[in-house]
């Protein structure tokens, strides 16, 4: 440990554990984190973490499991147990697992353990606080079981903090998604929720504090009813979820207080749950599309309702150094959904993004070995996936993604699977012109490394020379303007007049090739006024105008 930097062992690199570990690393701490996924191990290494393969086998004798844990968390002074009780185990097996963690932590002489728990330990009525978790007054099933697991650590010789979370919510755990399918049992109940960001920051808040111990509730101080929440979602073009409600009881349920945690100086990032819903936008469903045995496309489907009727699907292809969660793209996609149209945004598999860290380019090796052909083929696979389900498909590409879209659309047309339309936002018009020449090209070939610096973050990425070689092998097939000229589908072109990254002359080249008139946006630059990260609830003016014109074009398609 150097200064106030610590060594941390996170048991469970899942939905909360992975971003928590990354946040701790970015604060300067050394972090080891467990996972049973080989793919995640590489992602964790690239994120600066020390991955530990761990399969929590309940058949392993407790003493062996404790020794294995002790070895995995060697030298760590602070441990975090994020793994919830295993639903496949009985209560005795779950209690033994927690006892193994306690024994391993004791043998390792750690200073502090943070244990993740749940507000299920409380009675189901009234305002409840930490002291209200008593076995005689809580649910006879999950509540009492959880409290018994917490009590395993009562006699531990190190500091223990129990964090009791409400319903964990995030972009891919939206409470409206399940309700849109199954309904809420009682829309008059109060919500007790915890966002992913608040869950990770609360753990960081208590992990190194020498004055905090015992249990703390981590629940947003805002408790709207599910009725209020559902009404808010309808305003965001979600379906009328409340129509699925099973009952109309007037029971308010429990309201979990987090006053004890806030009294220590902790501030919730989400103190307005309806504001969170507005920031999340319209209905979004995480989707995986299988490419082969080892690769899947990870994307998000934006939709206005769950109608069984086939809709048009607009597929969005991000640009160079981009990704599906870059900047304000999610809000733009919400703006383009309609009753007859869904929108799908996705990550190319070698754009440098790991699913556990969706807003950072960490897979620099994968990024360096990407090619235009790989992206064209992946975009075609995505479009074919939606076509196979009976949807008409159009594609929109930003920057480099526009060039990829043009070639994919042309090749699908040749294969007898034409697209409904092809749209270009600030698109490049020539891949060949983007490569260096002369001495710079020779140097790249000699070093096998062409460095590209991210001016915002300072991160240095690089292309292998195979990127250039792969392009040269099929330069004619990757000719953007030729592909655009041969398209039979309607074409839409939009470009900012002040774009300095992809010059307006490239939009004019696409205009000449397609015969479609450019929609000029007066300002906004290459990303139409957006940046990354984008923390506003509304779009910049240029993106609003881009979305308006795009929607007019899409709504006019026959």
Q: CATH fold of 289-432+476-555, please?
A: Rossmann fold (3.40.50)
The H or E element containing residue 396 is strand 393-398
What is the distance of C-alpha 391 from the center of its chain? Answer: 25
| Range in 30-34, 82-86, 174-178, 507-511 the model is least confident about | 174-178
Give the separation between CA 21 and CA 25, rounded to whole angstroms. Answer: 6
DSSP, residue by residue, 206-273: HHT-TT--EEEEE--S---BHHHHHHHHHHTT---GGGG-S-------EEE--HHHHTTT---S---H
pTM of the predicted protein model: 0.88
How confident is residue 339, by pLDDT bands cut at 50, 70 and 90?
confident
Enumerate the domain spans of the chain. Answer: 7-171+193-219+256-269, 289-432+476-555
7-171+193-219+256-269 maps to CATH 3.40.50.720: yes
Q: What pLDDT, in 10s, does the model give residues 492-501?
A: 999 999 999 9
Q: How many Cβ atoms from other residues are within 10 Å of residue 390's Cβ?
A: 9
Pull the structure tokens for residue 390. Answer: 């009976």
Answer whether residue 300 shows pLDDT above 90: yes
User: Cis omega (within 30 of 0) on the bond before 496?
Assistant: no
| Range in 240-249, 276-285, 355-364, 520-529 the model is least confident about | 240-249
154 φ/ψ angles, rounded to the nearest 5 degrees: -60, -35
Using DSSP, state whether 274 is helix, strand or coil. Answer: helix
Q: What pLDDT, in 10s, does the model give residues 440-470?
A: 999 999 999 999 998 777 899 999 999 999 9
Q: What pLDDT, in 10s, does the model give residues 128-186?
A: 999 999 766 666 667 889 999 999 999 999 999 999 999 999 988 998 887 776 667 77
The H or E element containing residue 454 is none
Please calculate the CA angle 527-528-533 and round it to the nearest 5 degrees: 55
- Average of pLDDT values for 79-98? 92
DSSP, residue by residue, 166-202: -EEEBTTB-HHHHHHHH--S-TTSBP-EEEHHHHHHH
Please calculate the CA angle 506-507-511 and round it to the nearest 5 degrees: 120
Tell me how far CA of residue 190 lies from CA of 70, 155, 187, in angstroms.
41, 35, 8
- According to the model, what pLDDT value does residue 2 have? 44
């Amino acid at each position: 440990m150097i200064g106030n930097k610590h060594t941390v062992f996170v048991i469970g690199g899942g939905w909360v554990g992975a971003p928590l570990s990354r946040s701790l690393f970015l604060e300067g701490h050394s972090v080891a984190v467990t996972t049973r996924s080989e793919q995640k191990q590489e992602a964790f290494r690239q994120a600066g973490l020390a991955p530990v393969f761990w399969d929590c086998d309940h058949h392993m004798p407790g003493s062996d499991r404790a020794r294995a844990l002790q070895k995995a968390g060697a030298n760590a002074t602070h441990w975090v147990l994020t793994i919830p009780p295993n639903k496949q185990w009985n209560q005795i097996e779950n209690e033994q697992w927690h006892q193994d963690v306690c024994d391993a932590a004791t043998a390792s002489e750690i200073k502090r353990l943070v244990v993740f728990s749940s507000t299920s330990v409380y009675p189901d009525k009234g305002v409840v606080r930490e002291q209200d978790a008593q076995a005689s007054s809580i649910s006879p099933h999950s509540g009492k079981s959880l409290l018994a697991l917490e009590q395993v650590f009562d006699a531990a010789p190190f500091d223990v903090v129990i964090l009791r979370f409400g319903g964990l919510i995030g972009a891919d755990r939206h409470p409206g998604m399940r309700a849109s399918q199954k309904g809420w049992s009682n829309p008059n109940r109060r919500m007790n929720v915890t966002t992913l960001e608040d869950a990770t920051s609360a753990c960081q808040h208590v992990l190194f504090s020498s004055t905090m111990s015992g249990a703390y509730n981590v629940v947003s101080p805002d408790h709207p009813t599910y009725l209020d929440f559902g009404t808010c979602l309808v305003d965001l073009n979600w379906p009328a979820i409340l129509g699925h409600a099973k009952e109309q009881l007037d029971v308010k349920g429990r309201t979990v207080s987090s006053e004890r945690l806030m009294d220590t100086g902790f501030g919730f990032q989400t103190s307005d749950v309806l504001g969170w819903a507005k920031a999340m936008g319209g209905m979004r469903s995480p989707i995986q599309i299988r490419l082969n045995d080892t690769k899947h496309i990870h994307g998000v489907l934006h939709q206005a309702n769950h109608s069984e009727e086939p809709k048009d699907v607009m597929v969005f292809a991000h640009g160079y150094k981009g990704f599906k969660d870059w900047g304000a793209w999610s809000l733009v996609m919400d703006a383009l959904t309609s009753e007859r149209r869904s929108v799908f945004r996705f990550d190319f598999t070698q754009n440098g993004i790991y699913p556990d860290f969706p807003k950072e380019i960490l897979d620099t090796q994968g990024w360096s070995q990407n090619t235009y052909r790989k992206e064209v083929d992946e975009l075609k696979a995505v479009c074919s996936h939606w076509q196979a389900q009976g949807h008409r498909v159009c594609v929109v590409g930003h920057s480099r993604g526009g060039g990829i879209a043009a070639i994919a659309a042309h090749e699908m047309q040749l294969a007898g699977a034409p697209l409904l339309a092809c749209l270009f936002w600030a698109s490049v018009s020539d891949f060949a012109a983007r490569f260096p020449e002369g001495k710079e090209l020779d140097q790249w070939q000699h070093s096998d490394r062409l460095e590209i610096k991210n001016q915002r973050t300072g991160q240095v990425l690089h292309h292998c020379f195979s990127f250039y070689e792969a392009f040269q092998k099929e330069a004619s097939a990757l000719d953007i303007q030729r592909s655009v000229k041969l398209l039979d589908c309607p074409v839409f072109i939009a470009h900012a007049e002040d774009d300095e990254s992809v010059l307006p002359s490239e939009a004019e080249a696409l205009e000449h090739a397609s015969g479609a008139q450019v929609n000029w946006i007066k300002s906004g630059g290459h990303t139409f006024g957006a940046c990354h990260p984008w923390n506003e609830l509304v779009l910049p003016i240029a993106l609003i105008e881009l979305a308006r014109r795009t929607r007019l074009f899409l709504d006019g398609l026959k």
